[in-house]
Structure 1
Amino acid sequence: MKHIIQFATVFLLLTGCGNKNNQKSASEEQSEEKGIVVTQNQFDSNSLTLGTMEKRTFPKMVETSGMIDVPPENRASVTAFMGGFVKKTSLLIGDRVKKGQLLVTLENQEFVQMQQEYLEVFNQLDFLKAEFERNQTLFDEKIASQKNFLQAKSNYEMAKARYQGLREQLQMLNISPSKVEQGQISPEAAIYAPISGSIIQMNVGRGSYVSPATEILEIVDNSHVHLELTVFEKDILKVKKGQKIQFKIPEASEETFNAEVHLVGASIDGAKRSIQVHGHLEREDENFLPGMFVDAMIMTDTIKTWSLPEEAVIESEGSHFVLRLLGKEDGGYTFERVAVKPGNTFDGHTEIIRTEWSETDQFLTKGVFDLIGG
């Protein structure tokens, strides 16, 4: 009898637990069926809004990356035509210079020797010219021999060529030939800025020796910057001149900037299987600096499709959801959480790849994150 009573007790306990579990499961199913309920007061106090899907134009994008750069004519590498020791320079990286401004003064005894040679040839030129003209006259009158005439002509032409060559070399060193002709010889040569801009590299200091192969400094003019993007082979045929570009500078700002495809490269880089795309910026008054890394999207085509505001689509646990309005009654709103497959996001709206909904269906377009989280 005792065993029978114990068995009955255990049976009743199990039955009670089962009923409780069934009740709980039924309660969850009922809650799931009811969806998410929001009172009118909650709706108003949280500034929630409703909206319907609308058809919008979305661009098809080619993802790429690259950097901010300047045209070749806006970048100058300054070198010396002849070696020498830096006698004077007061410039630092970041200094602004104007075209024609003195950058560096070099000193070398070879400059003195070149000026001496120039002055010697200059002083001989008048004599050699007169000798040539005299022999030409005598030769024409058959008084002087052809040999003497040709020798005089050769001496004059050689001196003239040497004079012209030395003159050009002096001008390349920014040494005035006119001053040398007046006897003003200097061991110094000046180097001037070929363009206006900012110094981004300074490789020498006072007393340094520079050879003709040494880059003394580099100047960049930021007044015109552009995009240099790398597009991979699989996307090359999609990119055309005139297409719009949106880009960000991830290390510096979250802002999105606009540009346009200006040039598409004519050959593929064999190693990277890519091509260079040159883009012109919509606005150049931003603080862009050459060398800044950019992430960019090139808009290659457009498609018109259904969409919702970007805020209406929430990602949660690896899936995307929207809240569709089931009904409004008793002063409250009932929503169902629906999984969706989103497409591109552009201009504050997200493409919705789903067509079974009606155009009149309403969705929560603001405040979704507060209700279902992310």
Structure 2
Amino acid sequence: MKSISIYTLLISFFVFIQCKKEDPKDPKANLPKDENVVMLTDTQLKNAPIETTMLSLQNISSVLKLNGMIDVPPQNLVSVSIPLGGYLKSSSLLPGMPISKGQVIAVIENPQFIQLQQDYLMAKSKSHFAELDYNRQKTLNQSQASSDKAMQQAQSELNNQRILMNSLAQQLRLININPEALKSGSITKSVPVYSTITGFVSKVNVNIGKYVNPSDVLFELINPDDIHLNLKVYEKDLENLKKGQRFVAYTNADPAKKYYGEIILISKDINQGGLAEVHCHFDKYDQSLVPGMYMNAEIETSTSFSNAIPEESIVNFEGKDFVFVETKKQTYRLTPVTLGETENGFVQILNFADFSNKKIVTKNAYTLLMKLKNTEEEE
């Protein structure tokens, strides 16, 4: 009986201990582990030293990010044509080729050119004869040897020939033939086409031997002196822009290469999509900038002192931004953060009230993130 009682007491004690371990009211039994907290041992801290800082006021500029295209004003875009048409005899132009003002860029042939020069020289000769006849009739009329009617007819013929000669001279100038230098022995079937600007060739629309009409465009030339960036800006952002503001632009292909300039004109016309045009000049022309090229631009709209931390404090995980806040010695909490603008290595913190008087990790923040996530995976 005595041995049975001892055995019963042992069983009861064992059941009591098990119940105590599984008691849901025990706060330590069901205490969840904080998955956003990482603790470092002395050895880990020695291998990856941690440095912290607090929010500080930094001079941060607000930046407006825009996009647009390289453009040139109409007066800098030249379409070359020949007023009287003809066959293209020669040209060596290729798109992108540099040209100079006054350079011969093509030679055009047309039998009509021969006829035009012939008509001019004949009109010039007749005008000279009409002038001699008029002077003779004028002298005779003064001595009463000729009637007023004969003198008036001679004067009319002289005026008609001068009008015809001047008209033909203007047509010759249209095809780059100097009428004053034209003689019977210098009649030509070919005329040169000159460049009116210094720049480069944008388009070549003809080939050797092709007949071109007066309305056809042979070449398109661009004067890059006034090349500019045409940006598209939403109506709500127009109030932040003004003439003379600086910008920095870059292409998608080479974002590291920067182009600088300033705003020269802000359009007051807003299209149906709520966009207005802002025209910007570059400080220095670069030959790699060609009309139609797509570009991105950033414009500083305002500057103010903001609560900020060094960029190296920010860690990104699953598309979200975080920082580590020191809660106690060698213990750090992963905390969400809302970022603003970045400048000179500092990033603006918009939810700065959440970090008032708190120490934020600046060095080895990503080391803490890896330690935190590796610990979770092991568990």
Task: State the TM-score, normalized to the length of structure 1.
Answer: 0.81
Specify the code of the residue in structure 2 equivalent to 1:278. Answer: H
Per the alignment, residue 75 of structure 1 pairs with: 77
Give the alignment partner of residue 192 of structure 2, picking from 171, 190, 193: 190
Change (3 A) 1:293 1:56: same
Q: Does 1:304 align with 2:305?
A: yes
Per the alignment, residue 31 of structure 2 pairs with: 26
Contact 1:309 1:350 in 2 (8 A): yes
Q: Secondary structure at the match of 2:185?
A: coil
Per the alignment, residue 336 of structure 1 pairs with: 333
Contact 2:68 2:294 in 1 (8 A): yes
**Rg larger for:** 2
Task: State the TM-score, normalized to the length of structure 2.
Answer: 0.80
Specify the code of the residue in structure 2 equivalent to 1:322. Answer: V
Give the alignment partner of residue 348 of structure 2, picking from 334, 346, 351: 351
* Cα separation, 1, equivalents of 2:357 and 2:222: 58
Change (3 A) 1:99 1:53: same
After superposition, give the CA deviation of every residue in 1:68-114 in whole Å (9 maximum; x if it has no partner): 22344543222112211111122222322222222111111111111
Change (3 A) 1:37 1:289: farther
Contact 2:235 2:270 in 1 (8 A): no
* Cα separation, 1, equivalents of 2:177 and 2:48: 77
Q: Secondary structure at the match of 2:93?
A: coil
Change (3 A) 1:357 1:271: closer
Q: How many residues align?
A: 357
Change (3 A) 1:371 1:215: farther
Task: Measure how far apart 1:39 and its partner are.
Answer: 5.9
Specify the code of the residue in structure 2 equivalent to 1:279. Answer: C
* Cα separation, 2, equivalents of 1:284 and 1:45: 52
Per the alignment, residue 126 of structure 1 pairs with: 128
Q: Which runs of 5+ in 2 are unaligned?
A: 1-13, 374-379
Contact 1:323 1:363 in 2 (8 A): yes
Specify the code of the residue in structure 1 equivalent to 2:31. Answer: A
Task: Measure how far apart 1:345 and its partner are.
Answer: 2.7
Task: Measure how far apart 1:369 and its partner are.
Answer: 3.5
Change (3 A) 1:27 1:83: same
* Cα separation, 1, equivalents of 2:168 and 2:30: 101
Per the alignment, residue 151 of structure 2 pairs with: 149
Contact 1:55 1:304 in 2 (8 A): yes
Per the alignment, residue 205 of structure 1 pairs with: 207
Change (3 A) 1:177 1:28: same
Per the alignment, residue 8 of structure 2 pairs with: none
* Cα separation, 2, equivalents of 1:181 and 1:345: 74
1:1-374 matched pairs, under 5 angstroms: 26=31, 28-29=33-34, 35-38=37-40, 49-139=51-141, 144-222=146-224, 225-265=227-267, 267-285=268-286, 287-328=288-329, 333-356=330-353, 361-372=358-369
Higher alpha-carbon deviation: 350-359 or 147-156: 350-359
Per the alignment, residue 4 of structure 1 pairs with: none
Q: Secondary structure at the match of 1:167?
A: helix
Specify the code of the residue in structure 1 equivalent to 2:325. Answer: R
Specify the code of the residue in structure 2 equivalent to 1:304. Answer: F
* Cα separation, 2, equivalents of 1:194 and 1:43: 73
